[in-house]
Amino acid sequence: MKILNAKQMKLADQATIKNEPITSIDLMERAAFRCVQWIEEQDIEDKEIHVFCGMGNNGGDGLVIARYLYEDDYMTGTFVVHFSDTMSNDFVTNYQRAEDAGIYAASVHSLDDMPVINKDDIVIDAIFGLGLNKPPKGIAKEVISFINKSGATVYSVDVPSGLYIDKPIEANQVVVKAAFTLTFQSPKLAFLLPDNEEYVKEFLTIDIGLDEKFLDEISVNYHFTTSKTIESFFKYRTRFSHKGSFGHALIIGGSFGKIGATVLATKAALKIGSGLVTAYIPKCGYTILQTAIPEVMVEVDSADQLEFFNFKVKPTAIGVGVGMGTSDKTAKAFGKFLKENTTPLVIDADALNILSKNKEFLNYLPKDTILTPHPKELERLIGNWKNDYDKLEKIALFSKKYNCIVVLKGANTVVVKKDQFYFNASGNPALATAGTGDVLTGLITGLLAQSYTPLQASLFGVFIHGRTADFSASLGYMETFTASDIINLLPEAINSLFEYEDKLKPSLEDFEDFMDDNFDDDDFLDDFLFDDDLY
């Protein structure tokens, strides 16, 4: 799925209006209708709902939502925050439609005009949309602060008010802290960045039927990896395939006391489908590996640590670093290995730490080597960053300089290849436990061994890794989840790729039926006269 910026979203709206064709007011009606479908599925019976609208198109969305909720007999109060003397045409249209339906929005010029909001109430935030380019001030700022202090559950329409979607917010900028954001057509980059966690707790991307040809053809730098992404390049096994058809993964790692990391990575490489898997470890781990995973071959180095990297197998992909340690002998041998190696490579954990201390080793990486750092390991490689946008820029520069792929682990793990960013849709905090990174290294290495491209292996490994955690959450045991559970749940996670159901697609037939029942074919505003006194 493509992640569009504010300018691209506006162009997509324009293309849809022109090519469908549809009026902007009806497109707004369709988007709001889909929001209401979701809202009414929540536990809002007997709750008081406060809809706060700005004076632009986001406010227009809010007015439509308020009208639907009012007509469906929910306890709804509607408020227009007067932060400007300018109103969009579609806002004006929907203001009149709301009045025609019996809704008389209250004007908010100061906090004296604000309603009492209790913590059990629902607030629908439609004050500012994605076009915001300066911090909220005046009454808008005061209202956002008031909403945040109320403790009510907040649903934001498209974007939490006050949040920029393409750049960092400024110091002391006020932003609505939304429990849930209903965003249109495309996830927004800002939603996927740790700096904005308190403003975007959860979000749902709603397909509002924007022009598919435009969306297919537009070029973007940011992407959202979903089940459909993985389905598009999944390799099916053929009747006459054999173990040699699926590559040979080599996992290099381990040291005294850290053989478990290699066990996890090796088992993951095997479970994801690599035809052959070998572990290259210190001698102290030989019995452990042979006992834990009888399907895996084992070669050994020195007694307690890696000193030679003199394996005999000829793998199709290598994963290196898990539990490896960073001793001088290991670091020296690792550098020599990098100079000589031409096999596709995944680098994690202690191997990353050795790279960060020996930056000249980076020049030896084969093209499209995959690095899988967590944030602290990334910082050691690229240095500090001012904010998440600066971090992404620095990762892109690093990826270009060393012709590598960076997999930055965390919520919405991002895979970076030069100037292309792929944020992951799966996963949850269940993955915040020891050994999950080792499993990810094994998954990516096992996929790379099977001739997935380095980018495909990264995207597939990250997505399926997160999907297992989603299964754990659905079963109610997020806190007891372990790295081994990832491996055990891989069959269910892979099978789920082919049970994908697009639950975000709007019920356009329902919407069209509603429009036919409620509006004439004639232009809604043919005889509408705007009265300034209403405001």
Residue 352's SS3 state is helix
Task: Calculate mean pLDDT across residues 207-221.
Answer: 97
Q: Does pLDDT of 502 surpass 70?
A: no
> Residue 475: its pLDDT value, please?
81
Evaluate whether the domain defined by 230-499 bears CATH number 3.40.1190.20: yes
Please tell me the predicted confidence (pLDDT) of residue 134: 96
Can you tell me the mean pLDDT for 472-486?
90
Q: pLDDT, tens digit, for every residue of 399-414? A: 999 999 999 999 999 9
User: pLDDT at residue 516 above 70?
Assistant: no
* Cβ atoms of residues 409 and 376 within 8 Å: no
- Longest Cα separation, the chain: 88
Least confident of 292-301, 376-385, 488-497: 488-497
Give the model's pLDDT for residue 530: 34
What is the spatial distance between Cα 235 and Cα 306, in angstroms, rounded to a whole number? 35
Question: 51-73 pLDDT, tens per residue?
Answer: 999 999 999 999 999 999 999 99
Instruction: Give 22-46 pLDDT, tens digit per residue.
Output: 999 999 999 999 999 999 999 999 9
Predicted confidence (pLDDT) per residue in 117-134, tens digit: 999 999 999 999 999 999
Q: What is the average per-residue pLDDT within 129-158?
A: 97
CB 261 within 8 Å of CB 332: no
Mean pLDDT of the chain, nearest integer: 93
pLDDT at residue number 481: 95
Residue 369 has pLDDT above 50, yes or no: yes
Structure tokens at 383: 């240095």
- What pLDDT band is residue 533 in, cutting at 50, 70 and 90? very low
Q: Which CATH class is domain 2-209+507-534?
A: alpha beta
Q: How far is CA 497 from CA 140, 205, 491, 493, in A?
A: 44, 19, 10, 7
Distance CA 152, CA 180 (A): 12
Query: 432 near 375, Cβ under 8 Å?
Result: no
Local confidence band at 76 (pLDDT 50, 70, 90 cut-offs): very high
- CA-nearest of 517, 515, 459, 5 to 232 is 459
Question: What are the domain boundaries of the chain?
Answer: 2-209+507-534, 230-499
Check: pTM over 0.75? Answer yes or no.
yes
Q: How many helices (H) does the chain have, and how many strands (E)?
A: 18, 18
Closest by CA position to 143, among listed 125, 156, 159, 131: 125
